[in-house]
A and B are shown apart, each in its own frame.
Chain A
Amino acid sequence: GQQLNQSPQSMFIQEGEDVSMNCTSSSIFNTWLWYKQDPGEGPVLLIALYKAGELTSNGRLTAQFGITRKDSFLNISASIPSDVGIYFCAGPIIQGAQKLVFGQGTRLTINP
């Protein structure tokens, strides 16, 4: 079945640094979703991407829909302690059906 591979699996950075992570698939996706999960909470939707090449920002977060439609990128600028958490990418398994597949996540840790 379709799988999403996230890289890196974990990141340890200093506060104030920029962060880059990506999500890749062997199959084409027409939608990319990025979620963040805080400890003990459910995933929260950050950004949704629907068009190849699309670049969308949400505050210090910027996500891009890769032009091959097989990857997506999430960048966080000037990281702060509350950015700590696990970031997931997700996409529809079958276009038109509401079933999503999730990547395994990138765990972000920030040293103050």
Chain B
Amino acid sequence: DAGVIQSPRHEVTEMGQEVTLRCKPISGHDYLFWYRQTMMRGLELLIYFNNNVPIDDSGMPEDRFSAKMPNASFSTLKIQPSEPRDSAVYFCASSSAPTGHYEQFFGPGTRLTVL
């Protein structure tokens, strides 16, 4: 079975440019999560969706960040305009855990470098 798929795996861009990260969750999973990982702050949850609806976006750093989930098999995280401090590894994860369970399955990540 295919796991969580993310693209691109690496992205290098210049400050001020728009960046779009893509994620395909595991088929049948109804939760989708976007995380950011840096050395300083570790793994941070940015936003998560349930059945394509954003549930909690309190981790989104600022208005430059936006996320969408137009259907059950696709989500995007957009940064516009990008800044050097956005450089990090961005992970998408999905889950379909029954009540009281919390297992999340991560994609391979997108390493973003903003010059």
Contact = CB atoms under 8 A, between A and B. Distances in A.
Interface string B34-73: 0000000011010010100001100000000000000000
B106 A42 contact: yes
Interface residues of A, number: 24
A65 interface: no
Given A99-B56, A105-B42, A33 B102 contact: yes
Given A42-B91, A50-B100, A98 B31 contact: yes
A41 B42 contact: no
Contacts of B82: none
Contacts of B105: 45
B42 A104 contact: yes
B32 to A, nearest CB: 10
A85 to B, nearest CB: 13
Contact of B50 (A44, A98, A105): A98
A44 B93 CA distance: 10
Q: Is the interface of A mostly helix, strand, loop or mixed?
A: loop
Contacts of B45: 99-100
> Most B CB atoms within 10 A — which of A43, A91, A98?
A98
A15 B105 CA distance: 29
Contacts of A102: 42-43
Given A98-B31, A98-B48, A99-B45, A48 B103 contact: yes
23 contacts: A31-B100, A40-B109, A42-B93, A42-B108, A42-B109, A43-B43, A43-B106, A45-B104, A45-B105, A48-B101, A48-B102, A50-B100, A50-B101, A91-B102, A97-B56, A98-B31, A98-B48, A98-B95, A98-B104, A100-B104, A102-B42, A102-B43, A103-B42
Interface of B: 4, 31, 33, 42-43, 45, 48, 50, 55-56, 91, 93, 95, 97, 99-109
Interface of A: 31, 33, 35, 40-45, 48, 50, 88, 90-92, 96-100, 102-105
* Pairs A-B, 3 closest by C-beta atoms: A42-B106, A102-B43, A43-B106
